[in-house]
Structure 1
Amino acid sequence: MQDASELVDEDARPSEFVEALARGLAVLESFDASHLEMTLSEIAARVGTTPATARRSLLTLVSLGYVGQNGKRFHLTPKVMTLGSAFYFSARIDEVLLPELRQIVDTFGDASSVAVLDGHDVIYVAHHSTQRARRASAVVGARYPAHATSLGRVLAAGLDDDRLEAWLDRLAPVPLTAKTVVCKSELRRLVLEAREAGYATTVDQLDYGITALAVPIRLDGATIAALNSSGYTGLVTPDALVAERLPDLRMAATRIAQASARYPVLASVLRAR
């Protein structure tokens, strides 16, 4: 896992950049579904810092109530959710995005999400799905490798040529299934294809059983986020998704973009990084 401070290029850091704050945030981000509880040494390894540095951040976060301790192991506390809820309501996620996702799911079933690009990952900022047990449902805040998602390919397609090449140069694609495309030249071709078509489809790239279609959400000519609709491989095909769902997805993306223009905070937080 990369240190949060390393996610900002040193040349791009403002003179007021606070290294200690960046490391504290990296500690919070080191916890995920696979790392619910960790020791000090495990957290230090995940963050890429020394145990002494990680300890200072942890003790500060424990004092503030964002991290709890059980013996030698640390875990997040519910207080962390207040950070996400502030974003959720200030960005009007419940007013603007969720109604569109519910409409898509009511019409086609399955699941629908809005995501933004964060480095080489996509982050779900809104999600709605039918309740089925065939696969785990994505949740708001979930982070997935962009190269293995229709959302990620659409978002990468929204980068200009120079930024796309820089993005691909730093990309280290990992196979998540036997079908995951990890060849950079092939990924470049797929991203450029998505840019030309205005949408992207994937089959069993992120996980087996997921077939998805995504479209960009554009504001003032720039891609600020992406919207998708996904179904179960075997029940839907990419061609069927395009034929049946693409028009509705594009209309929903247009409405979201128009709403974003009315809510500056929403437009700001949706802009792909």
Structure 2
Amino acid sequence: MSDEKNPEYVEALARGLAVIEAFDEETPEMTLTELARKVDMSPATVRRNLHTLEALGFVCRNHKHFLLAPRILTLGSAYLKAVRVDEAIMPELHRITELFGDAANVAVLDGVNVLYIAHLSETRAARRMASIGVTYPAYATSMGRVLLAHLAPEEVDDYFKKAELRKLTDMTVTDEEALRAILAEVRVNGYSITIDQLDYGITALAVPIRDGVGKVVAAVNTSGYSPRLKPQDLLEQRLAEMRIAAARVSNLLLRYPALLHSLGTH
């Protein structure tokens, strides 16, 4: 995380990135006033950032509303190309989806959320779907629970101080004590299963991905439609293959140090 007291910290750059990150599915287009309110900056500061981003081609206008331009995709694709995600991770996601259908993902912990860095799906169900770059609350996802379970105790405490635990479905566990018990169980078992926690109809099984010294740096999951996936079936039919996939990705990471190092920063 950035240290604002560090003399090398560039506040102007941080503000520009905050403006970019303010655009989401709920607010894809905003006026200058709306954007300034969302990022808690003065309209003058936001205006300077918007004009700069517009000149660079990352932001465009629709009358008085600003929105992200297609060129913004180059920022994310630069990461994927630089660290060779397609070569290091995607082969195993293809193998998982060929075996089981449904969807497979890899994610890292990003603050209080999980950030998806790889995704492959063969389903088109009418439910919340993952994609590269999307974030979801860690406590409500299988990969998030795997990643949280392997944090140091003080990091888990910090997570619960910062996370907003809210109901996403009637099934979502939001009680801190209950979640801590779940994380302890995940750490012992080495996997996490979630059912209708993030959204109705999503059941997922996740296992950890480790670096060369055994530190958990990411998680991989397989997910599908809840009514046809039972937890016992996931364990019997998919867990062994998911652990093989995680081990293979872990081994491949040694061949792609840029990716490994980037994962180790989370």
Band the TM-score falls in, shorter-chain normalisation: over 0.9
Answer yes or no: is the 8 Å Cα contact 1:118–1:272 preserved in 2: no
Give the equivalent residue in structure 1 for 2:56. Answer: 64
Give the equivalent residue in structure 2 for 1:51. Answer: 43
Alignment equivalent of 2:101, drawn from 106, 109, 113? 109
The gaps in structure 2 that reach 5 residues or longer are none
Give the equivalent residue in structure 1 for 2:121. Answer: 129
Which residues of 2 match residues 128-147 of structure 1 at below 5 A?
A: 128-147=120-139
Aligned partners of 1:174, 1:57: CA distance in 2, in Å?
A: 33
Give the equivalent residue in structure 2 for 1:197. Answer: 189
The gaps in structure 1 that reach 5 residues or longer are 1-6
Aligned partners of 1:28, 1:197: CA distance in 2, in Å?
A: 39
Paired residues in the alignment total 265
Alignment equivalent of 1:21, drawn from 2, 13, 16? 13
Aligned partners of 1:253, 1:56: CA distance in 2, in Å?
A: 45
Aligned partners of 1:133, 1:199: CA distance in 2, in Å?
A: 25
Alignment equivalent of 1:261, drawn from 230, 254, 258? 254
Aligned partners of 1:143, 1:46: CA distance in 2, in Å?
A: 18
Give the equivalent residue in structure 1 for 2:32. Answer: 40
Which residues of 2 match residues 203-214 of structure 1 at below 5 A?
A: 203-214=195-206
Give the equivalent residue in structure 1 for 2:157. Answer: 165
Give the equivalent residue in structure 1 for 2:238. Answer: 245
Deviations 1:60-90 (A, max 9, x none): 1111111001111001111111111111111
Aligned partners of 1:8, 1:184: CA distance in 2, in Å?
A: 27
Aligned partners of 1:185, 1:272: CA distance in 2, in Å?
A: 28
Q: Stretches of 4+ moved more than 3 A in 1?
A: 7-10
Answer yes or no: is the 8 Å Cα contact 2:169–2:196 preserved in 1: yes
Aligned partners of 1:193, 1:9: CA distance in 2, in Å?
A: 34
Aligned-partner SS, 1:216? strand
Give the TM-score taking structure 2 as reference length.
Answer: 0.96
Deviation at 1:140, TM superposition (A): 0.6
Deviations 1:184-204 (A, max 9, x none): 111111111111111111010
Give the equivalent residue in structure 2 for 1:99. Answer: 91
Aligned partners of 1:175, 1:208: CA distance in 2, in Å?
A: 12
Deviation at 1:136, TM superposition (A): 4.3
Aligned partners of 2:180, 2:32: CA distance in 1, in Å?
A: 39
Aligned-partner SS, 1:79? helix
Deviations 1:85-129 (A, max 9, x none): 111111111112111001101101110000010000111100001
Give the equivalent residue in structure 2 for 1:3. Answer: none
Q: 1:77 to 1:24 in 2, by over 3 A?
A: same
Deviation at 1:218, TM superposition (A): 0.7
Alignment-mate amino acid for residue 98 of structure 2: D
Alignment-mate amino acid for residue 237 of structure 1: K
Aligned partners of 1:23, 1:170: CA distance in 2, in Å?
A: 21
Answer yes or no: is the 8 Å Cα contact 1:168–1:188 preserved in 2: no
Deviation at 1:8, TM superposition (A): 3.4
Give the TM-score taking structure 1 as reference length.
Answer: 0.93
Aligned partners of 1:91, 1:213: CA distance in 2, in Å?
A: 26
Alignment equivalent of 1:232, drawn from 225, 234, 237? 225
Which residues of 2 match residues 81-100 of structure 1 at below 5 A?
A: 81-100=73-92
Aligned partners of 1:30, 1:239: CA distance in 2, in Å?
A: 41
